[in-house]
Amino acid sequence: EPEVTQTPSHQVTQMGQEVILRCVPISNHLYFYWYRQILGQKVEFLVSFYNNEISEKSEIFDDQFSVERPDGSNFTLKIRSTKLEDSAMYFCASGSGGPAHEQYFGPGTRLTVT
Amino acid sequence: AQKITQTQPGMFVQEKEAVTLDCTYDTSDQSYGLFWYKQPSSGEMIFLIYQGSYDEQNATEGRYSLNFQKARKSANLVISASQLGDSAMYFCAMRERSSGNTPLVFGKGTRLSVIA
């Protein structure tokens, strides 16, 4: 069964460094999303992406963040100049845009900023 | 105001029993979708079940069913015949507007523990 994959599973970085989180969505899906979950808290939306551009973004998704679909398979989230409060689990999700518009999540990347 | 409210931070259920996890939502949209996701201790988010606002029948997927009461704005998840592997966090989520672009809004979750 097709699934969303994410790499790395765990990333440790120092404050102020840049990180790139990578995702491979399900191949025939058209809609892509990034969410994050700070430890013990609820899942929060960051950004959605469709037709090679950002569709929606939350107030969390400020100039520190960017997304890119550099080729036909990868979908990346870049965080410039990481802060301690960026430590969280980052989930990529993709959807086919079918009637339910259900979103399938990857296993997540746990980002730890020290 | 919270869009999704899950009032039960934790629930316990005996193996083989049924359990209901509560979810209420708040929206002024006529077209919306309601979802439940399971998050085991390993951390991944697993899609369980979907209910559309115009669906007249409650959604069912195997042992999962969604008790949809539109007038009350509730979308409770019912798990029948609980198994030890059902122990996890369960998140209710809503998508407003009928568009693939629309993000999901999640509740704070309910931690379900199944007891042998």
Q: Report the residue count for chain A.
A: 114
- The answer on pLDDT for B100 being more than 70 is no
Q: Does B98 contact A55 at a Cβ distance shorter than 8 Å?
A: no
Minimum Cα–Cα distance from B36: chain A residue: A102
- Each residue's pLDDT tens digit in chain A (114 positions)? 779 999 999 999 999 999 999 999 998 898 999 999 999 889 999 999 998 899 999 999 999 999 999 887 899 999 999 999 999 999 999 988 766 778 999 999 999 999
Q: What is the pLDDT of residue A101?
A: 76
Higher pLDDT: B100 or B62? It is B62
Nearest CA in chain A to B35: A102
Of B69, B73, B104, B76, nearest in space to B90 by CA: B76
> What amino acid is encoded at A56 in this protein?
E
A79, exposed or middle or buried, with CB in 10 Å at 0-12, 13-18, 19+? Answer: buried
Instruction: Please classify residue A102 by burial: count the beta carbons closer than 10 Å to its beta carbon, then call 0-12 exposed, 13-18 middle and 19+ buried.
Output: buried
Q: Tens digit of pLDDT for each residue in B47-58?
A: 999 999 999 899
Label residue A28 exposed, middle or buried (CB < 10 Å: 0-12, 13-18, 19+). Answer: exposed
pLDDT given for residue B99 in this prediction = 64
Instruction: Yes or no: say if A60 and A68 are a contact pair by the CB < 8 Å rule.
Output: no
> To the nearest whole angstrom, how far is the Cα of B101 from the nearest Cα of chain A?
6
Q: Which residues of B touch A111 (CB under 8 A)?
A: none
B84: helix, coil or strand?
Answer: helix
Gap between the Cα atoms of A5 and A10, Å rounded: 13
Residue B95 has pLDDT above 80, yes or no: yes
pLDDT of residue B98: 61
Chain B interface test: which of A32, A56, A103, A110 (most B C-beta within 10 Å): A103
What percent of chain A lies above the pLDDT cut of 70? 98
- Asked if B61 and B51 count as a contact pair (C-beta separation under 8 A), the reply is no
Instruction: Output the pLDDT for position B1.
Output: 63
Mutation target among A101, A104, A110, A112 for the B interface, most CBs of B within 10 A: A101
The C-alpha atoms of residue B64 and residue A78 are separated, in whole angstroms, by 37
The closest CB to that of B35, out of A58, A97, A102, belongs to A102
Phi then psi for A76, rounded to 5 degrees? -120, 150
- B38: pLDDT confidence band, cut at 50, 70 and 90? very high
Residues of B in contact with A104 (CB under 8 A): 47
Q: Which of B42, B47, B103 sits opposite A48 (nearest CB)?
A: B103
